[in-house]
Amino acid sequence: MAIRDKLVITFFVFIIVPMLLLWARWQGTAVGSIKSVLHQGLSDRAREISDQITLRLLNHQTQVLDLTRQPAMRAYARALAVRSQAVPEGALEIDLSAFLLAHQNKYSALIIVNQAGAPVFKLVVAPGPNGVIRPFSQVRDFPAEDALPSRDILKNTPPSSVSFSEFMQDANGTHIQVIAPLQDEAGGTAGGLVIKLRADELLSEAVGPRIVQQNDQADAARTDNVIVSPQAVVLYATDQTKQGKSYTESFRELGPAISSIIHQNDQDLDLQPWLIRHRLRESSPKLSILVLKNYNQAINSLEYDSYILLLLTLLLVVVAMLLLYALISGITDSIRRVTIGAKAIASGNLGYQIKVKSKDETRVLAEAFNRMAGRLREMIKKEGEQKQFESFARLSAVLTHDLKNQILSLSLLVSNMERKFDREGFKEDAMRTLSDSVNNLQNLVSKLSDPRTPTKRIRERANLTTLVERVIQRTAGQATNRYRISAQLNPDLHAVIDGKAIERVIENLVINALEAMPEGGSLHVTTRQDDGHAIISVADTGKGMTEEFIRERLFHPFATTKKKGIGLGLYSCRDIIEQHGGRIDVASQIDAGTEFRIVLPLKVEDPSIAEPDTATV
């Protein structure tokens, strides 16, 4: 039997099966216990919220009744009984305003109604012009909601008690009307005092402060407290964004489940993964109190029981490993041999041969290592030869490009000898061109003799215009019979450069421009100074380049539009210019021509630094 089969059977019999049995037993008991505890906690929380609402309503009842029992209010009640439109004046109005301002966070308005339930006086709390809360007194245009729905409310309210309306909605938000009868000294009811109690403040005090969650894990473990009105509107929620909406809109996923218990007195609902406790507050104002708990987090946090299971699992693993030790002792030697051989091969000893006597998987593994080592030896040998060939091919391509430029210069010179040989100054120009070409060819030969040694170049201050004139004389100056050559040169344009390298860049751009005009055309070269930079421009009227070629291939190695080009010139040109801290810009248009601009800084931090000539043109 193979080693893998032995390991699988052993682990399955002695570890996996017992672990699954233990886990199933634990899950059946622990999860049920957790749900029972959570159910009881939610029930206690719902009852606590209901009791807190009742307690705070009683406190508000006491405050309102104390206000109605003041002597000034009793005197005003007598006046209201005589004249149904009498309004508080003087000190009483000041006292009522002070009372409302003192409780502005809890009360939004104070209204006095007559025996018929019609409002005669109103104070409201609203933001003042400087952000200060102030009362509006004697509001004459009373909205319809300020009137009592029935005058029987005052008659049916005992003198030592108040009436609470259901939750109402107006421009100032959701509120409850606290209605207390106004009685004179004789005990007669002359009208009523209506206080609008802010619902959000009442419910927030009853539920307690909202806990700001710090992360998603804490948010998932929290208990949501929700209070719903008989009209199915969420009056309070732990998440404030859910207030003021229908509970079916605020709790889309739980809406159907909540709807099934919303009209029941006290009921629990277990809806994976939510536990929901509903409690109906039957006294006015009637409310449905819902407490929701996501019990996934509670179940997942049973760390203690998890540690016990972990210890049991580790014990089973130890027992299983002892049994496995007896089974694998016979193959330990083979595995050790394969391990030693693998380390030897990994360290670079590809001639090492692994020898294993067993006939199981370790023998197959050893043979695979031996085959791998043999193939690696062949691949390394071929890779070394390939790298040598690629190095030689790259050097040949670079030198071929340089030779092509020199041959073109000599070709232009030879083509002009028959027509211009006897002209004054031609011989001197020809000799100068030949001398430059010979020097360049000698440099190429020296590089070819020892390509591993880079040529050192010293940057020094040089006249860029002189370099441009020399290049034009050596290249374009020999082809004036086919091309219209024009130049606009700044005679005093100096920069700290490697003169030979920059001269070859200019030469490459000029030759490219001439080759872009096989049928003849115009070549225009300019030098100028602009914003601390020296600019050398080479423009032709050739066939131009497409935007795609400029964007995707220009300045890349072996990218060219020439039929016989190798595509290394512009790649090397850009490398040289960037080493000088400059750049090459290009503008081209199909069938209109191309302009290359060399932009070089006029100043460098350390012009005496010697740098290797890493690219040739």
What φ, ψ does residue 455 adopt, rounded to 5°?
-80, 130
Q: Residue 614 in 3-state DSSP? A: coil
Tokens matching residue 97: 């305003």
Fold of 454-612: Heat Shock Protein 90 (3.30.565)
Q: Would you say the C-alpha torsion 468, 469, 470, 473 has a positive or negative sign?
A: positive
Which two structure tokens, joined as six digits, stand for 235?
């009056």
In this prediction, residue 554 has a pLDDT band, given cuts at 50, 70 and 90, of confident
| CATH 3.30.565.10 domain residues, the chain | 454-612
pLDDT of 592 above 50 = yes
> Is 138 a residue whose pLDDT tops 60?
no
Out of 126-135, 526-535, 537-546, 598-607, pick the least confident: 126-135
Question: For 365-415, what is each residue's pLDDT tens digit?
Answer: 777 878 887 888 778 877 765 665 555 555 565 566 666 666 666 666 666
- Is it the case that residue 185 has pLDDT exceeding 60? yes
**Of residues 497 and 444, more confidently modeled:** 497
Average pLDDT over residues 221-236: 85
Edge-to-edge strand order for the sheet containing 266-271? 234-237, 223-228, 287-294, 274-281, 266-271
- pLDDT band (50, 70, 90) for residue 613: very low
Amino acid at 158: P
Side-chain-side CA neighbours of 92 within 13 Å: the count stands at 20
What count of other Cβ atoms lies within 10 Å of the Cβ of residue 440? 20
**Average pLDDT of the residues in 163-182:** 86
CB 151: neighbour CB atoms within 10 A? 16
Give the model confidence (pLDDT) of 26-74 as tens digits: 667 777 787 888 888 888 999 999 999 999 999 999 999 999 989 999 8
Among 302, 273, 304, 274, residue whose Cα is nearest residue 290 = 274
Query: Residue 150, Cβ neighbours under 10 Å: how many?
Result: 10
47-61, 336-350, 512-526: which range is least confident on average?
336-350
Which pLDDT score, from 0 to 100, does residue 457 have? Answer: 61
Q: What is the CATH number of domain 3-54+209-300?
A: 3.30.450
Is 131's pLDDT higher than 50? no
Residue 95 zone, left/alpha/beta (φ > 0; ψ -120 to 50; rest): alpha
Average pLDDT over residues 207-222: 64
Integer Cα distance of 592 and 45 in angstroms = 84
The CATH code that applies to domain 69-192 is 3.30.450
Q: State yes or no: pLDDT of 614 exceeds 50.
A: no
- What is the per-residue pLDDT for 482? 76
pLDDT of residue 617: 47
User: Is 333 or 528 the better-scoring residue by pLDDT?
Assistant: 528
Structure tokens at 370: 């031996």
Give the mean model confidence (pLDDT) for residues 333-338: 71
Q: Of 561 and 132, which is predicted with more confidence?
A: 561
The string of pLDDT tens digits covering residues 484-515 is: 888 899 888 898 898 888 888 888 888 888 88
Cβ partners under 8 Å of residue 191, min gap 6: 77, 80, 81, 84, 112, 113, 114, 115, 120, 154, 181, 182
Residues 125 and 146: their CA atoms lie apart, in Å, by: 15
Q: Which percentage of the chain shows pLDDT scores above 90?
A: 13
User: Bigger pLDDT: 103 or 378?
Assistant: 103
CA dihedral sign of residues 407, 408, 411, 412 = negative
Q: For 561-577, what is the mean pLDDT?
A: 73
pLDDT over 90 (residue 306): no
Per mean pLDDT, which range of 9-23, 222-236, 382-396, 486-500 is the poorest?
A: 382-396
Helix (H) or strand (E) holding 37: helix 17-68
Specify whether the CB–CB gap between 146 and 119 falls below 8 A: yes
Kindly give the residue spans of alpha helices, DSSP state H, lying in 329-360: 332-346
Residue 218 pLDDT: 52
Residue spans in the chain of domains classed CATH 3.30.450: 3-54+209-300, 69-192
Quote the DSSP letter at residue 15.
Answer: I
Q: Helix/strand/coil (H, E, C) string of 484-530? A: EEEEECCCCCEEEECHHHHHHHHHHHHHHHHHCCCCCEEEEEEEEEE
DSSP 600-615: EES--S-TT-EEE---
- Asked if 313 and 305 count as a contact pair (C-beta separation under 8 A), the reply is no
Q: For residue 301, what pLDDT is reported?
A: 67
Work out the pLDDT band at 535, boundaries 50, 70, 90: very high
Helices (H), 188-331: 199-207, 216-221, 247-250, 255-261, 296-300, 303-328
pLDDT in tens, 284-305: 888 888 898 887 776 666 656 7
Q: What number of residues does the chain have?
A: 617
pLDDT, mean over the chain: 78
Q: What is the mean pLDDT of residues 242-267?
A: 82
Residue 191 has pLDDT above 50, yes or no: yes
